[in-house]
Structure 1
Amino acid sequence: MRHRHRTTAAFALGVVLLLDVLRVWLPSIITIFGQAAATPAELLGAFAVGWFVLALAAPALVRRLGARPVGLFAAGALAGARLALTAAPGGRLQLWLACAGLLAGLVWLAATAAAVTRPVPGLALGLAANAVGHALLGTEDLVWRGGWPGWTLSVLLAGAFLATQAGLAAGTSAPAQARAAAGAWLAGQGRSAAEAAGRSGGAPAWLLVGPAVLIAGQLALSPALWTAATSYRHGSPDFPGLGLPPQHVPALPELAVGLFLVATFTRPPRWLARWLWPAALVAGAALFAADRAGWLAPAILLTAAGLGGCLALADAGPETAAASRADVGAADGGTGAGDRSPGAGRRGYAAVGGMLAFAVASVAYYAAYDLGYPNGAVPVGLALLVGVVAVAGPPAAAPALRGAALAWTTIGLMLLTALAGGIHRPVRATERRDVAPGDVRLVAYNIRMGFGLDGRLDLAGLTRAIEGTRPDVVVLSEVDRGWLLNGGHDTLALLARRLHLPYVFAPAADPVWGDAVLSRFPARAAESRPLPAVGAPTGAQALGVTLDLGGGVPLVVVATHLQPPPGQGPVTQARAVAAFATRYAAGRSLVLAGDLNTQPGDPAFAEFTGAGLADALAPARPLPTSPADDPREQIDHVFVSPGVRTAGVAAPRTTASDHLPVAVTLTLP
């Protein structure tokens, strides 16, 4: 393997490993350090960003000790932390391991930047490979899976990464005379792209690493967002704007991967590329920021093409093995005694600075759901930054992949993406168990985006808690379908496959966070209604679904998650939900369920009873459901219309979420 290809492979594997750690670190910040919004958002943001600020010392460390020894040590720490996270039991140990892995990854980036001017090929292949791998896993990371398959693949990934790092370091230890000769050869190429990259030090391309990781993980190359966007494409006049399980393998994921790679590794005329790719990137980010479910698919495709094209514009660097070795020699001096190259220092600071931009943009975007300010400008601003840096950079070098290599790489990754869609296709509903005619077992559960009290993604625990109640209908709150902050999982699709239940999803805060109804009975109609915010930072909605129980017997299920304004009860939202539910039911049997953030006797609770609905959990009161490890608050409820009888009320103890599920058997008139 030629030197530049070894460099590309080594960096791509490092990107995959670093993204794996980020997918644990981000939700650990929220669920463990943040304690589900119990920690002030300002303190949480400072803690998160502080690790990236600390990493700004890494380029100086590299300059003092040398890129090669620092890089190898950081690579070992990154791989070790990644493997340790698979074994960690959760809690604070997981948080600190994830922080250590993140810091090691940032130091590794700085060391790699000191030795390599051209990160774009490895970055692009690493982002694409990570997305395809995540899709093949159904968006459930290896870290959370464990078991021998998870451990085997994790060890293979970490081992391959360390092997390429060691091989690259050995390959750059050529005699000083050879490096000097290569450097002289490079200096003689006065008008080459290599010289252009040398003048800039490759810093613009390295500056884009952090923004590219965020844009890809949040939008362009997010398998969870692919499935969520596809589910909106399977609506009908009866399900306007609602997410339904897709019934066939869509083309969206394959197109996103293909467009990204082709745009990265092809070179249209520069005058065309300079306005086409930034325009596509900004347009895609703007569609995403508009928070319209129906616009997710075009937003993904535009962003994938625009991001790849902007990376291509910034891709300038040495073209030959000799040039790459000369660059490494300049960075390391061949002795490991310290970096003396100004360009290498600029690249190191650019790499860490770009990741700092990743942290600031992530905190700014997701903190809006705690603090209540508009966040649509964040992805658009980040896209503008990428476009400006790409256009202002030096002329792009020839693509690292071209011709047959590009075609086979792109086709291979697209086929693997299609295979992922076939493996994780939605399943049919299981047969309904034998119960008395008119009886329906319902469970309502706030699943906290799939994370248990220990901070680990606990799909198995959620499945056990739900299946233990033997439900026919499941109402879920706090359903996440692709937030990078929570690791980029489609929690709804993952649970629906485990439970063998189709779903209807309604967005609340944005198109990929909201409430869902899963049912063994077919859904005949559905409607969603936004609720007034009244000062609450996170959006809320009411989802009404009409189920066909057979024999012409309908049941209307309304799912919601009320969001009270600071220091107040959700009275206004409760009144709106009660009015919506009674109107939508139109005299049919009705059940209303969810996390209502109100307790019996509160004014908001009285809005439901005042609307003629009965407390289905009354026979078991008091029935506290939060927090799950020491339940004290009765905030998860089920209400029914007159004539619907209830029995078998239960709140099984589990720590798979910060709430307990509530279950009840309904007997319809």
Structure 2
Amino acid sequence: MSQRRLGTATLALGLVVLIDVLRVFLPSVITIFGQAASTPAELLGAYALGWFVLALAAPVLVARVGADLVGVVAVLLLGAARLALTAAPGGRAQLWLASAALLAGLVWLAATAARVAHPVPGLVLGLTANALGHALLGTYDLVWWGRWPAWVASVAVVAALLAAETTFGRRRDTTQRVDDDAPPARLGWLLVGPALLLGGMVALSPAVASTAMSYWYGEAGTGLSPPFALAPLGVAAPLFLLGALLPVHRRWRMLPPVLLLFGALLFGYGPPPLLSLAMLLGAAGLGGCLGLVAVAPARQARTGPAFAAVGGMLGFAVATMVYYAAYDLGYPNQWVPAVVAALTGVVAMRGATVSGGLRQSPPESAPDLPRWRLAALAAIVALAAAWLHGPWLVSSNRTGPPERVRLVAYNIRMGFGLDGRFDLTALERAVGRADVVMLSEVDRGWLLNGGHDTLGLLAARLGMPYVFAPAADPLWGDAVLSRWPVQRARTRPLPAVGAPTGAQALGVTVDFGAGVRLAVVSTHLQPPPGADPVVQARAVADFATGYADGAPLVVAGDFNTEPGDPAFTTFTSAGLVDALAPARPLPTSPADDPREQIDHVFVSPDLVATDPVAVPGIASDHLPVAVTLTLSGL
């Protein structure tokens, strides 16, 4: 293997491991350092950004100690911390291990930038490989599996990275003088952070792909064939790959930045059904922008690219925190991906200008692949992504009216327990053998939470199809799962009344057969801090009674209000019955020391609700509440 290809392989493998670490670090900051939303958002951001700022010292360390030695030590620390995360039981140990792994990864990135003159091929292959690997795992990271295959795969990837790093350092010509600056190379390293952000947020996210398909094939998911659940990724990945590695003629050099910006705008401001188009445009544009900065002279300054790489990752952290902090602080955030896309386009155009703006033949930075091999590689990537299934979607699996139905309402906090671990087994255990499940705080691909399709994963484990309703954006909201067929899915946005996070009410009709139906409305009231959500409660009550239109009705979810508060009495004044009343007091939050009764189930008077309970556990920061409904005679 040539030295340049070895550097490309090392960078690609390192990025795979670094992205895996980011998928643990980011949610750990929120769930462990954040302590169930009790820590101010400003402090959370300062903690997260602090590690990226600390990494700005890495280029100086590389210049003084040597890139090869720093690179090997950083890989050893990164690999050890990554493997330790697989064994970590969660909690503070997970937070500190993830933080240490992130810092080691950033130091390694700086050392690699000082040695690899052409970062684009490694960046492109690393992002593509990570996306396909995440798709292969159904967006359920190896670090959370806790089984021996996860250990084998994790050890194999870390061992491959270590072998590549040591071989690269041993073979590299360390006597070569590096005394010239290379603007295109430096610009290529500067785009590592934006590429990770835009790729992970939309362009190369398997969770976004499966969510986008669910909007096209019906909200309940029953019409979606599993082999094609990731079809958008099957198109986006080769577009990204070819855009970065194929020549770009001068006359078309404006096209990639325009496509990327349009895709980011569509992601931020477009309707949910156009999410797949945003993904395709973003992938093609992002790949093309990386291709525009791929051409670089062979020589480069030792510290310039290193600072560019770490600075680009600092930009990743800032943009990530700014985008997701909006849901705590309350400001518009749709502009963030668009601004990052615009800046990426500016850097790409600068790279094209410096390099002459014309690439009639494969660029010097390409991995020496003829066009037919690049086409074959893109075809393989497309087939692999299109046929890899995400979470398997199932059809309703019961017919005929039962006498009793077990209903559970649960705020799952994006799938993360109080220990900070993404634990589907604990969630499945908390839900139990429910027949109808109403979920709040459902995440279907937020980069901040690791890019999982939590709803699809949980639905597959429970063997229940779902209906999803977006609230904050197309990837975050509420859901209803049912073992019986559902009809008439309707959703209504709720008044914001100054609340930072969006809210909605989702109505579905469960069809038990023989004319027996049940109207179910799932919601999550989001009041401003310290306020009662009475305005939203009135909107939900009006929507629910109108939607039911005289049919038996259940309204449940996280209401963020206590019994007797104005919002609570809004539902009882509307003629609904507190189904949990016989078991009260029944505190549901926080899960490890419940003191607040903010999760509720209301039913119409023609329903008999028995066996109310709040199920103990720490799979979320809330406890699930459950009741048994008697349907006989309806």
| Pairwise TM-score range, normalised by the shorter structure | over 0.9
How big is the shift at 1:317?
Answer: 2.9
How big is the shift at 1:246?
Answer: 2.3
How big is the shift at 1:437?
Answer: 3.7
Is the 1:142–1:154 contact (alpha carbons within 8 Å) kept by the matching residues of 2? yes
Cα 1:437–1:219, aligned 2, differ >3 Å: closer, same or farther?
A: closer
Counterpart residue identity of residue 473, structure 1: V
> Which residue of 333, 340, 343 corresponds with 1:375?
333
For 1:633 and 1:502, the matched residues in 2 are separated by 31
Matched ranges for 1:358-373 at <5 A? 358-373=316-331
Matched ranges for 1:132-147 at <5 A? 132-147=132-147
Residue of structure 2 in register with 1:126 after alignment = 126
For 2:155 and 2:379, the matched residues in 1 are separated by 27
Is the 2:411–2:441 contact (alpha carbons within 8 Å) kept by the matching residues of 1? yes
For 1:429 and 1:405, the matched residues in 2 are separated by 44
Residue of structure 1 in register with 2:156 after alignment = 156
> Which residue of 254, 272, 295 corresponds with 1:293?
272
> Which residue of 301, 307, 310 corresponds with 1:352?
310
Does 2:465 match 1:502? Answer: yes
Residue of structure 1 in register with 2:440 after alignment = 477
Matched ranges for 1:222-233 at <5 A? 222-233=205-216
Residue of structure 2 in register with 1:332 after alignment = none
How big is the shift at 1:244?
Answer: 6.5
How big is the shift at 1:425?
Answer: 3.1
Counterpart residue identity of residue 663, structure 1: A
Residue of structure 1 in register with 2:60 after alignment = 60
Residue of structure 2 in register with 1:333 after alignment = none
Residue of structure 2 in register with 1:284 after alignment = 263
How big is the shift at 1:420?
Answer: 1.5
Q: CA RMSD in A?
A: 1.7
How big is the shift at 1:527?
Answer: 0.3
Deviations 1:101-127 (A, max 9, x none): 000011001111111121100000000
Alignment identity in percent?
61
Deviations 1:630-656 (A, max 9, x none): 111111110001110111112111111
Deviations 1:450-479 (A, max 9, x none): 001100001010001112xx2110000000
> Which residue of 381, 389, 394 corresponds with 1:427?
394
For 1:264 and 1:168, the matched residues in 2 are separated by 24
How big is the shift at 1:294?
Answer: 1.3
Matched ranges for 1:381-396 at <5 A? 381-393=339-351, 394-395=354-355
Size of the alignment, in residue pairs? 620
Deviations 1:1-53 (A, max 9, x none): 11111111111000000000000000000000112321111111111111111
For 2:373 and 2:10, the matched residues in 1 are separated by 18
Counterpart residue identity of residue 382, structure 1: V
Residue 475 of structure 1 aligns to a residue in which SS? Answer: strand
How big is the shift at 1:201?
Answer: 6.5
For 2:571 and 2:183, the matched residues in 1 are separated by 65
Residue of structure 1 in register with 2:106 after alignment = 106
Residue 549 of structure 1 aligns to a residue in which SS? Answer: strand
Is the 2:221–2:465 contact (alpha carbons within 8 Å) kept by the matching residues of 1? no
Name stretches of at least 5 consecutive residues in structure 1 with no aligned partner.
Answer: 188-194, 328-340
How big is the shift at 1:252?
Answer: 1.3
Cα 1:147–1:245, aligned 2, differ >3 Å: closer, same or farther?
A: farther
Cα 1:311–1:108, aligned 2, differ >3 Å: closer, same or farther?
A: same
For 2:397 and 2:426, the matched residues in 1 are separated by 20
Residue 443 of structure 1 aligns to a residue in which SS? Answer: strand
Matched ranges for 1:50-449 at <5 A? 50-173=50-173, 176=175, 179=176, 199-200=182-183, 202-235=185-218, 246-248=224-226, 249-250=228-229, 251-272=231-252, 274-290=253-269, 292-317=271-296, 343-393=301-351, 394-395=354-355, 397-398=363-364, 399-400=366-367, 401-421=369-389, 424-431=391-398, 437-449=402-414
Deviations 1:393-439 (A, max 9, x none): 13263433432331232222222213322x7431334447x9x8442
TM-score normalised to the size of structure 2? 0.95
For 2:69 and 2:379, the matched residues in 1 are separated by 37
Residue 202 of structure 1 aligns to a residue in which SS? Answer: helix
For 1:167 and 1:428, the matched residues in 2 are separated by 51
Counterpart residue identity of residue 351, structure 1: A
Counterpart residue identity of residue 339, structure 2: G
> Which residue of 558, 564, 573 corresponds with 1:610?
573
For 2:494 and 2:396, the matched residues in 1 are separated by 31
Residue 388 of structure 2 aligns to a residue in which SS? Answer: helix
For 2:83 and 2:563, the matched residues in 1 are separated by 47
Residue 495 of structure 2 aligns to a residue in which SS? Answer: coil
For 2:13 and 2:223, the matched residues in 1 are separated by 33
How big is the shift at 1:440?
Answer: 1.4
Deviations 1:39-98 (A, max 9, x none): 111111111111111111110111111111011111111111110100111001100000
For 1:355 and 1:97, the matched residues in 2 are separated by 19
Residue of structure 1 in register with 2:610 after alignment = 647
Residue of structure 1 in register with 2:551 after alignment = 588
Is the 1:265–1:402 contact (alpha carbons within 8 Å) kept by the matching residues of 2? no
Residue 60 of structure 1 aligns to a residue in which SS? Answer: helix
How big is the shift at 1:344?
Answer: 1.7
For 2:112 and 2:56, the matched residues in 1 are separated by 14
